[in-house]
Amino acid sequence: MGVETLVLLTLVVVLAMIVLVLWRNNQQLIRENTEFKTKLGLLEENLRKEYEVKLQEWKQKAEKEIRKDAISRSSSTILGRVGEQLAPLLMFSNYRINPKDVRFIGTPIDFIAFKGLEEGNPEEVIFIEVKSGKTKTLTKREKQIKELIENKKVRWITFHTQSEIQKLENAVSNEIEKEEDRNE
The model's pLDDT over 81-139, given as tens digits with 9 standing for 90+, comes to: 777 777 777 777 788 889 899 998 988 998 999 999 999 999 999 999 988 767 789 99
What distances in angstroms separate CA 6 from CA 2, 18, 42, 72, one per listed residue?
Answer: 6, 18, 53, 96
The model carries a pTM of: 0.50
* 1 band by pLDDT with thresholds 50, 70 and 90: low
Is residue 111 within 8 A of residue 128, CB to CB? The reply is yes
Is residue 141 within 8 A of residue 108, CB to CB? The reply is yes
**Which of 155, 101, 93 is CA-nearest to residue 123?**
101
pLDDT, tens digit, for every residue of 16-68?
999 999 999 999 999 999 999 999 999 999 999 999 999 999 988 888 888 88
**Which of 75, 90, 165 is CA-nearest to residue 128?**
90
Kindly state the helix (H) or strand (E) to which residue 103 belongs, with its residue range.
strand 102-104
What pLDDT, on the 0 to 100 scale, is given for residue 96? 87
